[in-house]
């Protein structure tokens, strides 16, 4: 019976490498791999903006799944979601994941399984490739420190600018919020011991966590959510 997989890792290369290896092990030719990936568009300012994978892309994907394999006994349908697979698109996938076409394996890759509907997860074998580190790299920590400094300042212009910049990449925004939350939690532990700034740190953690959860669980506008965070 065909199997469906959900491949989880924050490292995109790691997800793609695992997916390629899985297809190779199943002797699925590259000609028999239908892949849906994130598309990007370039603005007049040469900024690349991620586009969501929506219903139209999924409908086209599903049509290709019912074609017979060209060079293999099996074929693969692969969606590199990267947190841009809309709720509507996920709902559209439920039926095909419940009853996949003959001789077909289905694969979704994503940074976090919480970005995928529970009803879709339940139809997949979940493969989590890495255990996330408690603390980020030096570069990630520095980025979180700069973000928090602006968040706690009175500079509205800088707040709106950083909201605009990070709204272009939801994945990086979630990583930034994770690192900022971790840093504030560490500061909270220190402030409790020193009896300093405890209330302020708790409040900041709460607004960061609310923003993170909203972005992760819903399809709200990233920029508006970040602007609301900055003004909270």
DSSP string, 78-101: EEE-TT-B-HHHHHHHHHHHHSPP
Q: How far apart are CA 63 and CA 217, in angstroms?
A: 28
CATH for 4-128?
A: 3.40.50.300
H-helix or E-strand spanning residue 144? helix 138-151
User: Which of 10, 26, 16, 39 has the alpha carbon at shortest distance from 132?
Assistant: 10
Q: What are phi and psi of 104, to 5 degrees?
A: -130, 135
Q: What pLDDT is recorded for position 47? A: 45
| Higher local confidence (pLDDT), 48 or 62 | 62
Q: How far apart are CA 56 and CA 62, in angstroms?
A: 10
- How many CB atoms sit inside 10 A of residue 108's CB? 29
Using one digit for the tens of pLDDT, what is the confidence trace for 69-117? 888 999 999 998 876 788 888 999 999 999 888 889 999 998 888 888 8
Using one digit for the tens of pLDDT, what is the confidence trace for 145-167? 888 889 888 888 888 988 888 88
Beta bridge partners of 127: 7
Q: What is the pTM of this model?
A: 0.55
Q: How far apart are CA 25 and CA 42, in angstroms?
A: 37
User: Which of 174, 171, 166 has the alpha carbon at shortest distance from 224?
Assistant: 166
Q: What pLDDT is recorded for position 75? A: 92
Q: How far apart are CA 95 and CA 78, in angstroms?
A: 16
What is the token pair recorded at 214?
Answer: 């909203």
Q: What pLDDT is recorded for position 37? A: 66
Give the mean pLDDT of the chain: 81
């Amino acid at each position: 019976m065909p199997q469906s997989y959900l491949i989880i890792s924050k490292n995109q290369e790691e997800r793609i490498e695992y997916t390629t290896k899985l297809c190779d092990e199943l002797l699925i030719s590259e000609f028999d791999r239908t892949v849906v990936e994130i598309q990007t568009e370039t603005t007049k300012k040469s900024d690349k903006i991620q586009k969501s994978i929506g219903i139209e892309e999924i409908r086209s994907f599903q049509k290709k799944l019912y074609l017979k394999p060209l060079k293999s006994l099996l074929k693969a349908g692969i969606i590199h979601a990267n947190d841009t697979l809309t709720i509507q698109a996920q709902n559209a996938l439920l039926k095909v994941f419940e009853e996949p076409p003959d001789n077909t394996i289905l694969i979704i890759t994503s940074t976090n399984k919480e970005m995928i509907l529970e009803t879709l997860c339940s139809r997949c074998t979940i493969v989590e490739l890495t255990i996330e580190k408690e603390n980020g790299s030096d570069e990630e920590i520095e980025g979180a420190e700069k973000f928090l400094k602006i968040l706690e300042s009175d500079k509205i212009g800088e707040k709106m600018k950083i909201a605009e910049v990070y709204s272009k990449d939801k994945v990086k925004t979630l990583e930034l919020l994770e690192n900022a939350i971790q840093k504030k939690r560490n500061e909270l532990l220190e402030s409790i011991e020193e009896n300093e700034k405890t209330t302020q740190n708790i409040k900041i953690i709460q607004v960061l966590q609310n923003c993170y959860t909203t972005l992760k669980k819903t399809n709200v506008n990233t920029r508006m959510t970040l602007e609301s965070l900055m003004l909270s």
